[in-house]
């Protein structure tokens, strides 16, 4: 049977534990049913309707969080922030962290071409899971799930530059620090249907970061993030050292002035006594 080959491990407790919420069994199975599996098994219900619902719930919670958390940002910037959080690459990354791929019910074709790690399938399944939580447990539980999964990403996205991506932010930082233009070098490995890309980024002849991903773009973004964090660390340490030196210099000058004042007072007292 085609279903046996593509069935994930039967125990969903691991996935429920990763999500932090239990969902009714039949609804959970539907959320994990990709259309390729459904078509190969007699036209079962797919997760596409739940995906549609989950996309709306995710968008609502993220938009509400951004609106309340950034009262001074204009609509255009809020929209860019939301797009940096609610996109296929970001959702797929969250899904990988939860181990969602191992639980998806896939047809033989998708199974054979690495479908369990395809960004589009992972992102859609995560949205379907959010939709299932909303239907079974209500908006409060679904909202709590979204916050658990995405608050960190929202915070990181809010700290990026105007382009809301790590490559743009790295370029802005290296320009301010007059370090030069970042250069990316990418190597790939693995079979055609499941390639892995590794990127390194050099600035001014020095390597500051590296990253891996399922696409060249993803690998470069991860490398840029690592480089941005490393350069910021160097900048912060340098600024702290400079501030410490300035404080020491100021204290030394203050001590010198106090000594001079003391000497003048002593001299004046001596003259008065004479």
Q: What is the pTM of this model?
A: 0.66
What is the pairing mode between strands 196-203 and 206-213? antiparallel
CA 32, chain centre distance (Å): 24
The residues, ordered by sequence, that sit 6+ positions from 52 with a Cβ below 8 Å of its Cβ are 131
Rounded Cα distance between 201 and 145, Å, is 35
Q: Following DSSP, what letter does each residue of 100-138 receive, concatenated?
A: GGGG-B--HHHHHTTGGG-HHHHHHHHHHHHHHHHHHH-
Q: CA distances (Å), 165 to each of 80, 152, 216, in order?
A: 10, 15, 15
The whole-number pLDDT of residue 253 equals 72
CB 15 within 8 A of CB 4: no
Tokens 């199975």 correspond to: 29
Per-residue pLDDT, 48: 96
State the pLDDT confidence band at 254, using cuts at 50, 70 and 90: confident
Cβ neighbors of 12 (< 8 A, separation 6 or more) are 25, 28, 103
Q: What is the pLDDT of residue 213?
A: 85
What pLDDT is recorded for position 6?
A: 42
Report the alpha-carbon distance of residue 90 to residue 69 in Å, rounded.
Answer: 20
pLDDT at position 77 is 83
pLDDT at position 187: 94
State the helix-helix crossing angle for 75-85 and 139-158, rounded to 10 degrees.
100
**DSSP H stretches of helix in the chain:** 2-6, 13-19, 25-31, 35-40, 48-69, 75-85, 88-98, 108-112, 119-137, 139-158, 166-176, 216-273
Q: Which of 203-207, 222-226, 232-236, 243-247 has the lowest mean pLDDT?
A: 243-247
Residue 96 to residue 252: CA distance in whole angstroms: 56
Catalytic residue among 40, 51, 55, 124: 55
Please check the confidence at residue 160 and state whether its pLDDT lies above 80.
Answer: no
Note whether 139 and 57 are within 8 A (CB). Answer: yes
Instruction: Write the pLDDT tens digit of every residue in 91-117.
Output: 998 999 999 999 999 999 888 888 898
Order of all β-strands in the sheet with 196-203: 183-189, 196-203, 206-213
- Mean pLDDT for the chain overall: 86
- Decide if pLDDT at 162 tops 60: no
Segment 105-156, tens digit of pLDDT:
999 988 888 889 888 999 999 999 999 999 999 999 999 999 999 998 888 8
Is there a catalytic annotation at residue 127? yes
Cα distance between residue 38 and residue 49, in whole Å: 13
Whether residue 1 is predicted with pLDDT greater than 50 in this model: the reply is no
| Mean pLDDT, range 233-257, rounded to an integer | 79
Higher pLDDT, 248 or 35: 35
Which one is catalytic: 51, 110, 111, 127?
127
Residue 96's Cα: distance from chain center in Å? 12
């Amino acid at each position: 049977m085609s279903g046996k080959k593509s069935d994930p491990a039967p125990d969903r407790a691991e996935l429920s534990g990763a999500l932090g919420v239990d969902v009714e069994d039949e609804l959970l199975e539907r959320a994990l049913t990709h259309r390729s599996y459904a078509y190969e098994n007699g036209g079962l219900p797919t997760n596409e309707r739940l995906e549609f619902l989950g996309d709306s719930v995710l968008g609502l919670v993220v938009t509400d969080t951004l609106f309340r958390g950034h009262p001074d940002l204009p609509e255009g910037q809020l929209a860019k922030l939301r797009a940096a959080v609610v996109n296929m690459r970001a959702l797929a990354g969250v899904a990988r962290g939860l181990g969602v791929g191992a639980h998806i019910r896939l047809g033989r074709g998708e199974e054979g071409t690495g479908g369990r790690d395809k960004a589009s399938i992972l992102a859609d399944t995560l949205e379907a899971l959010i939709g299932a939580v909303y239907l079974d447990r209500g908006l409060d539980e679904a909202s709590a799930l979204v916050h658990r999964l995405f608050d960190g990403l929202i915070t990181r996205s809010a700290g990026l530059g105007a382009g809301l991506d790590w490559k743009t932010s790295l370029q802005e930082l290296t320009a301010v620090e007059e370090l030069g233009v970042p250069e990316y070098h990418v190597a790939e490995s693995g079979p055609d249907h499941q390639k892995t890309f590794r990127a390194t980024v050099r600035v001014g002849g020095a390597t500051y970061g590296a990253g891996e991903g399922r696409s060249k773009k993803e690998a470069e973004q991860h490398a840029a993030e690592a480089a941005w964090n490393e350069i910021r660390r160097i900048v912060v340490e340098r600024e702290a050292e400079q501030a410490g030196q300035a404080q020491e210099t100021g204290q030394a000058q203050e001590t010198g002035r106090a000594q001079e004042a003391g000497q003048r007072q002593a001299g004046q007292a001596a003259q008065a006594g004479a």
